[in-house]
Structure 1
Amino acid sequence: MRLTVLGACGAWPEAGQASSGYLIEHDGFRLLVDLGYATVPRLLEHLDVDQVDAVFISHGHPDHCADLNPLLRARALRKDPPPPLPVYTLPGALDAVLALDRPGMLDSAYTLHEFTAGSTLGIGPFRTETRPLPHYVPNAGVRLTAGGRVLAYTGDTGPDANVVELARDADLLLAEASYVHEVPADSTGYQSSARDAGRQATAAGVGHLLLTHLLPGTDHAAARAAARTEYDGELGVAVADLVVDLP
């Protein structure tokens, strides 16, 4: 299993960067997990749009799904459009993005598969387990298993027992860490800090923790240091073009 980070900025992209978006590959199957602002140009540096096999969107905030629109446009408006792209998400999460164009314009470009968080899905070679995780809008964390390796991703979430269960013994946990030490009072319970991510990675017995969704301007070294106070395994910060192989 291979992870390529397309973007990892929380809320909005910094100059030259992109919001949350991840390409996950196994046995030639290419799954996109989240497609936030500016991720499609980054995707096109790695592959053409007709080489994407499926998309999984954790929740409906635009820094996680806005670039589904240009991806579908690029598939629908070409002279030789590929088959409809399977798109997996929570009910209603993509209503706003899919309504950006005139009715029917993109209908042939995708097949929407809405699921309830807690469901287990089969997406290509991946066993895909989902969990409801607390955020301002419904959010589904996802656990992907293939080839004996496990990658877990939180989407955006506050600390929660379901994060630990989602990531139990995972080879890699891709964890939202918008803040370094403390989450502001108005976001408590709905977003996480790097320290929270470290604490939950330890509780889950994760082999490798990758912090993501850091807000623009966040000191990456400070985020790593905060997570390190709670977690002593392999640790990093997600940035565009980072590649992690799970052999």
Structure 2
Amino acid sequence: MRVVVLGGLGAWPSAEQACAGFLVEHQGFRLLVDPGYATVQPLLTRLPASAVDAVYVSHGHPDHCADLQPLLRARVLPDRSAPALPVYAPSGSLDPLLAIDESGLIDTAYRLHGFTPGDNFGVGPFTVRTWSLPHWVPNAGARFTAGGTVLAYTGDTGPSPMLVELARDADLLIADATYVDEIPDRHVGFLSSAAEVGRYATAARSRAVLLTHLWPGTDPDAAVAAARRAYSGSVDVARSGLLVDLPA
């Protein structure tokens, strides 16, 4: 399994970095996870829009899904006969995004599979197990398993005992680390810190950690150091262009 980082910022993109988004490849199948703001351009530098096999969206905030819309345009407008792209997302979460275009323009470009966080299903070679994690809107953390390899992804989340279960023995945990350590009162319970990620990654025995959704302007070295206070495994920050090859 290979993970290609398209971006790793939360809230809004910078001039150099897209919001959180990941291309997960296994046995030739390409799963796009959370196509947030500015992720479609780095995606299209690697492959054509038609080569994406499926999309998984953790929740409906635009920094996790906005670039699904230009991706769908890039698939269907040049070729009206292109096959529909399977899109998996919490039920209703993408309705506002998919309604912004004129009626009928991209309707044939996708096949929407709505689910309730907590559901389990298959996507290509991946077995997907989801958890409902605390955020302002329904957010589905997910565990993607293929060929004995496990990728765990939190989406955006506050503290939850479910995070240890999600991350248990994962080969890679991609975790919300919006803040380094202290979380502002307005975000307590709905977002996480790098320090928190280190603690639950240790409890879960995750083999490696990738910190994502950093608030723009956050020092990535400080985030890594905060996670390492409680976690002794490999820690890195999600940056555009980073490649992570996971063991089979």
**How much does 1:80 deviate?**
5.5
**How much does 1:81 deviate?**
4.1
- Structure 2 stretches of 5 or more lacking a match? none
- Alignment partners' CA distance in 1, 2:233 and 2:67: 33
- Alignment partners' CA distance in 2, 1:218 and 1:230: 20
Q: Is the partner of 1:151 in helix, strand or coil? A: strand
What residue number does 2:153 align with? 153
Q: Is the partner of 2:60 in helix, strand or coil? A: coil
- Structure 1 stretches of 5 or more lacking a match? none
Matching of residues 6-45 of structure 1 within 5 Å: 6-45=6-45
Letter paired with 2:148:
G
Give me the CA root mean square deviation: 0.8
The answer on whether the counterparts of 1:194 and 1:227 sit within 8 Å (CA) in structure 2 is: yes
Letter paired with 1:238:
A
Letter paired with 1:185:
D
What residue number does 2:211 align with? 211
TM-score normalized by structure 1?
0.98
**How much does 1:149 deviate?**
0.5
Letter paired with 1:93:
S
**How much does 1:96 deviate?**
1.1
What residue number does 1:77 align with? 77
Letter paired with 1:149:
T
Structure 1 pair 81–243 and aligned structure 2 pair: CA distance change class (3 A): farther
**How much does 1:187 deviate?**
0.7
- Alignment partners' CA distance in 2, 1:60 and 1:122: 21
What residue number does 1:88 align with? 88
Q: Is the partner of 2:42 in helix, strand or coil? A: helix
What residue number does 1:191 align with? 191
- Alignment partners' CA distance in 1, 2:226 and 2:62: 28
**How much does 1:17 deviate?**
1.3
What residue number does 1:103 align with? 103
- Alignment partners' CA distance in 2, 1:102 and 1:80: 16
Runs of 4+ in 1 over 3 A off after TM superposition: none
Identity across the alignment (%): 61
The answer on whether the counterparts of 1:75 and 1:81 sit within 8 Å (CA) in structure 2 is: no
- Alignment partners' CA distance in 1, 2:243 and 2:199: 24
- Alignment partners' CA distance in 1, 2:59 and 2:221: 28
Q: Is the partner of 1:35 in helix, strand or coil? A: coil
Q: Across the two proteins, how many residue pairs are aligned to each other?
A: 247
Structure 1 pair 39–81 and aligned structure 2 pair: CA distance change class (3 A): farther
Q: Is the partner of 2:73 in helix, strand or coil? A: helix
Q: Is the partner of 2:19 in helix, strand or coil? A: coil
Q: Is the partner of 2:108 in helix, strand or coil? A: helix
TM-score normalized by structure 2?
0.98
Stretch moving more, 46-55 or 100-109: 100-109
Q: Is the partner of 1:8 in helix, strand or coil? A: strand
Q: Is the partner of 2:162 in helix, strand or coil? A: helix
User: Could you list the per-position Cα deviations for residues 64-112 of structure 1 after superposition, in whole angstroms to 9, with x for gaps in the alignment?
Assistant: 0000000001111013642000000001100111011011211100000
Letter paired with 1:189:
G
Letter paired with 1:122:
G
User: Could you list the per-position Cα deviations for residues 7-50 of structure 1 after superposition, in whole angstroms to 9, with x for gaps in the alignment?
Assistant: 11110011121011100000000000001011001100110000
Letter paired with 1:32:
L
Letter paired with 2:152:
A
